Amino acid sequence: MANALKASSLYRFMTHKRKVLSLYKKSLRHLEAWCYNLGRPHYCYERTLLRARFDQHKDEPSENRAAQLLRLGEEEFWENQSPDPIVWPNDGVEPGVLFERLNKYKIPEHYIEFWSAEEKAMFPDFLAKREKWIEIRKQTWEQEMKILQEWDKKNIEEGVPMTDQLPAAKEKDGYPPFWWHTVTRPLEQPERMTWFPRTANTS
């Protein structure tokens, strides 16, 4: 679990090609939303121009220049995204059918503190590891906050826009900041099973 990362931090580990493809796909979706009432021919014309802009720099030899173009493209998309994007029925965003579908399986991690002794006895290995994670969190909190403050100060001095990106661990194979939010993530299936005490069907 030393290499566990928050989902919001995975973007910086994606390859450049994957980031460009993701930008192209979401740009097409929002372009389609903008052209929804203008007719299919208008959308096809704008889609051709968009593809030409991407193809213009697909063989960029300079990695720095390619990264800069990607950043500018992300900023342009953010400024021009549709306020009413098209949402497919099975999308995980509102009003898609998958929106918050799994919320019933998510509970705050600290709810474990309210488990009864009988319930805790069902997961002795997990709770033993959890106590170690909590102890490590207490010992490393001040150090991790210091690393985070240094990272923010460095970005401010360099004029880098503030994002949710977290700094990498200073030590090899060390824990990244706030690693315990991933390690002690909510249980995927927190609902009591039929074999839990006092939950068996007595009828």
Region 93-101: mean pLDDT is: 65
pTM of the full predicted structure?
Answer: 0.45
Three-class SS state of 187: coil
Q: Are 186 and 107 in contact (CB under 8 A)?
A: yes
Cβ atoms of 114 and 120 within 8 Å: the answer is no
Task: Name, in order, each residue with C-beta under 8 angstroms of 23's C-beta and a sequence gap of 6 or more.
Answer: 70, 73, 74, 77
- pLDDT recorded at residue 203: 46
Q: pLDDT band for position 27 (50/70/90)? A: very high
The predicted-structure confidence for 44-55, as pLDDT tens digits, reads as follows 999 999 999 999
Closest by CA position to 28, among listed 70, 71, 86: 86
Is the model's pLDDT at 35 over the cut of 70? yes
**Does residue 154 surpass a pLDDT of 70?**
yes
pLDDT (tens digit, 9 = 90+) per residue, 36-80? 888 889 999 999 999 999 999 988 899 899 989 999 999 999 999
